Amino acid sequence: MEEKKIDIQSIIGFILIGGILLWMLYNNTPEETEAVDETTTEQVEQNTQESQTPDNLPETRTAQNDSTSLADAQRRLGAFGYSETLASAQGGTTTISNDLLELKISNKGGYIEEARLKNFKTYDSIPVYLIKDGNASLNMNFSTTDGRTLNTENLYFEPSLTENNGNQVLSMKLKVSEDEYLEYRYALRSGEYMLDFTISSQGLTGVLNSAETPVLDWKLKGYRHAKSISYENRYTDLIYEYDGGDDDHLSSGDDEDENVSYIAYRQHFFTSILLTDTPFKTAKFEVENLVEDEEVDTVFTKTFASTIPLDLKAGELNYNMNWYYGPSDYKILNDYDRNLDEIIPLGWGIFGWINKYLFIPFFAFLAGVLPSYGLAIIAMTIVVRIVLSPVTYKSYLSQAKMKILRPEINELNEKYKDNAMKKQQETMKLYSKAGASPMSGCLPALMQIPVFYALFQFFPSAFQLRQKSFLWADDLSSYDTIAELPFNIPFYGDHVSLFPILASIAIFIYMMMTTGQNMQASQQPGMPNMKFLMYLSPLIMLIFFNNYASGLSLYYFTSNLITIGIMLVIKYVIIDEDKIHAKIQENKKKPKKQNRFTKKFQEMMEQAEEQQKKQKR
pLDDT for 44-72, tens place per residue?
333 333 333 334 433 333 333 333 333 34
The residue among 242 and 588 whose pLDDT is bigger is: 242
SS3 assignment, position 18: helix
Spatial separation of the C-alpha atoms in residues 107 and 111, rounded to whole Å: 8
What's the pLDDT score for residue 601? 58
Query: Which of these, 246, 242, 255, lies nearest to 285 by C-alpha position?
Result: 255
Instruction: Give tens-digit pLDDT for 161-185.
Output: 998 887 899 999 998 888 889 999 9
DSSP letter assigned to residue 570: I
DSSP letter assigned to residue 156: B
Q: How far is CA 189 from the centre of its chain?
A: 29
Mean pLDDT in residue range 457-471:
90
Instruction: Give tens-digit pLDDT for 546-594.
Output: 888 889 899 989 988 988 888 788 777 777 666 766 766 666 566 555 5
Query: Which of these, 334, 124, 325, 94, lies nearest to 222 by C-alpha position?
Result: 325
pLDDT above 90 covers a percentage of the chain that reads: 37
Weakest-pLDDT range from 373-382, 558-567, 595-604: 595-604
In single-letter form, the type of residue at position 75 comes to: R
Query: Which of these, 477, 492, 482, lies nearest to 122 by C-alpha position?
Result: 477
Are 268 and 260 in contact by the 8 Å Cβ rule? The answer is no
Contacts of 454 (CB under 8 A, 6+ apart): 346, 347, 350, 351, 352, 354, 355, 358, 359
Q: Which long-range contacts (CB under 8 A, 24 or more apart) does 493-496 make?
A: 493/546, 493/547, 494/295, 495/546, 496/546
Kindly report the number of other CB atoms within 10 A of residue 13's CB atom.
25
Spatial separation of the C-alpha atoms in residues 509 and 514, rounded to whole Å: 9
Handedness of CA 571, 575, 576, 579 (dihedral sign): negative
Are 441 and 395 in contact by the 8 Å Cβ rule? The answer is yes
User: Which backbone phi and psi does 196 adopt, to 5 degrees?
Assistant: -75, 145
Spatial separation of the C-alpha atoms in residues 237 and 342, rounded to whole Å: 12
SS3 assignment, position 91: coil
Query: Which of these, 163, 180, 164, 182, lies nearest to 172 by C-alpha position?
Result: 182
Spatial separation of the C-alpha atoms in residues 135 and 115, rounded to whole Å: 11
Give the model's confidence band at 605: pLDDT under 50 very low, under 70 low, under 90 confident, else very high.
low
Spatial separation of the C-alpha atoms in residues 442 and 439, rounded to whole Å: 5
Give the model's confidence band at 86: pLDDT under 50 very low, under 70 low, under 90 confident, else very high.
very low
- Work out the end-to-end distance of the chain between its first and last CA atoms, rounded to an integer number of angstroms: 60
Give the model's confidence band at 148: pLDDT under 50 very low, under 70 low, under 90 confident, else very high.
confident
SS3 assignment, position 282: strand
Instruction: Give tens-digit pLDDT for 319-333.
Output: 999 999 999 999 999
What's the pLDDT score for residue 29? 44
Query: Which of these, 112, 148, 154, lies nearest to 133 by C-alpha position?
Result: 112
- For 20, 80, 384, 453, the CA distances from 24, given in Å and listed in that order, are 6, 72, 19, 17
Weakest-pLDDT range from 207-221, 381-395, 593-607: 593-607
Contacts of 323 (CB under 8 A, 6+ apart): 112, 186, 194, 195, 197, 272, 273, 274, 275
Spatial separation of the C-alpha atoms in residues 515 and 27, rounded to whole Å: 7
Angle, helices 389-415/420-434, rounded to nearest 10 degrees:
140
Q: Has residue 314 got a pLDDT over 70?
A: yes
Spatial separation of the C-alpha atoms in residues 99 and 347, rounded to whole Å: 33
Query: Pairing relation of β-strands 180-188 and 167-177?
Result: antiparallel
User: Which backbone phi and psi does 148 adopt, to 5 degrees?
Assistant: -85, 150
Buried b (16+ CB within 10 A) or exposed e, 480-491: bbeeeeeeeeee
Are 464 and 476 in contact by the 8 Å Cβ rule? The answer is no
Which helix (DSSP H) or strand (DSSP E) does residue 12 occupy? helix 8-27
CA angle 209, 141, 256 (to 5 degrees): 110
Spatial separation of the C-alpha atoms in residues 134 and 108, rounded to whole Å: 12
Spatial separation of the C-alpha atoms in residues 272 and 95, rounded to whole Å: 18
pLDDT above 70 covers a percentage of the chain that reads: 72
What's the pLDDT score for residue 443? 64
Weakest-pLDDT range from 94-103, 151-160, 285-294, 422-431: 422-431
SS3 assignment, position 351: helix
Are 240 and 247 in contact by the 8 Å Cβ rule? The answer is yes
Beta bridge partners of 158: 173
In single-letter form, the type of residue at position 155 comes to: L
Spatial separation of the C-alpha atoms in residues 138 and 416, rounded to whole Å: 76
DSSP-H helix ranges across 55-192: 70-78
In single-letter form, the type of residue at position 483 comes to: A
What's the pLDDT score for residue 9? 52
List the domains of the chain with CATH numbers: 8-29+364-578 (no CATH), 56-343 (2.70.98.90)
User: Which backbone phi and psi does 526 adopt, to 5 degrees?
Assistant: 85, -10
Kindly report the number of other CB atoms within 10 A of residue 66's CB atom.
17
Contacts of 223 (CB under 8 A, 6+ apart): 129, 130, 132, 135, 267, 299, 300, 301
Classify burial at 614, counting beta carbons within 10 Å of its beta carbon; exposed 0-12, middle 13-18, buried 19 or more.
exposed
